[in-house]
C-alpha cells in the first residue's frame, strides 16, 4: 500500500482509531478501572479541541519530523463534507491533521514513534478546558 497516495481523510480515519486506543491503553495501564472515569479521562484527550491544542503545541515546539508535518498538512488540507459537533471548522481541520499523523505512522509501522508522541502528549500537562 502506498500511503503517499492515500487521501488525508483516510489517514485521519485510521489515526483516530490508533490514537483512541493508545490513550485508552495509557489510562488503563495507570490503574484506572472505572469505565465512567476512564471515559472522562479519555475524552479530555480525544476531543477535537484537545487534538487541535496538542498539534499546535507539537508544531510550535518542533516535535514533528518533516514527513509527519507533511502528513499533518495532508490531513488538515483535506476536503471535508461533514464536521464534528461543537467545534469550528479551523479546529476541526487541525484535529483532522493531528489524526492523520497517527494514521500515517500506523501505516508506516512506526510503533516506537507513536509511543514517543503519546509520551510527549502526556508530558504536556493539563489540557485546557473545553
The catalytic site residues sit at 16
| Cβ-based neighbour number of residue 54 at 10 Å | 21
Comparing CA positions, the residue from 67, 66, 58 lying closest to residue 108 is 67
- Separation of alpha carbons 56 and 51, rounded Å: 8
Comparing CA positions, the residue from 26, 25, 99, 23 lying closest to residue 68 is 99
Amino acid at each position: 500500500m502506498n500511503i503517499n497516495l492515500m487521501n488525508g481523510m483516510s489517514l485521519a480515519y485510521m489515526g483516530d482509531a490508533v490514537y483512541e486506543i493508545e490513550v485508552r491503553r495509557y489510562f488503563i495501564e495507570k490503574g484506572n478501572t472505572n469505565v465512567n472515569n476512564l471515559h472522562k479521562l479519555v475524552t479530555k484527550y480525544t476531543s477535537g479541541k484537545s487534538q487541535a491544542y496538542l498539534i499546535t503545541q507539537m508544531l510550535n515546539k518542533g516535535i514533528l519530523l518533516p514527513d509527519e508535518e507533511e502528513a499533518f498538512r495532508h490531513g488538515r488540507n483535506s476536503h471535508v463534507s461533514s464536521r464534528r459537533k461543537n467545534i469550528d471548522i479551523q479546529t476541526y481541520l487541525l484535529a483532522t491533521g493531528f489524526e492523520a499523523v497517527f494514521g500515517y505512522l500506523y501505516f508506516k509501522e512506526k510503533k516506537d514513534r507513536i509511543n514517543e508522541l503519546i509520551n510527549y502528549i502526556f508530558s504536556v500537562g493539563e489540557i485546557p478546558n473545553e
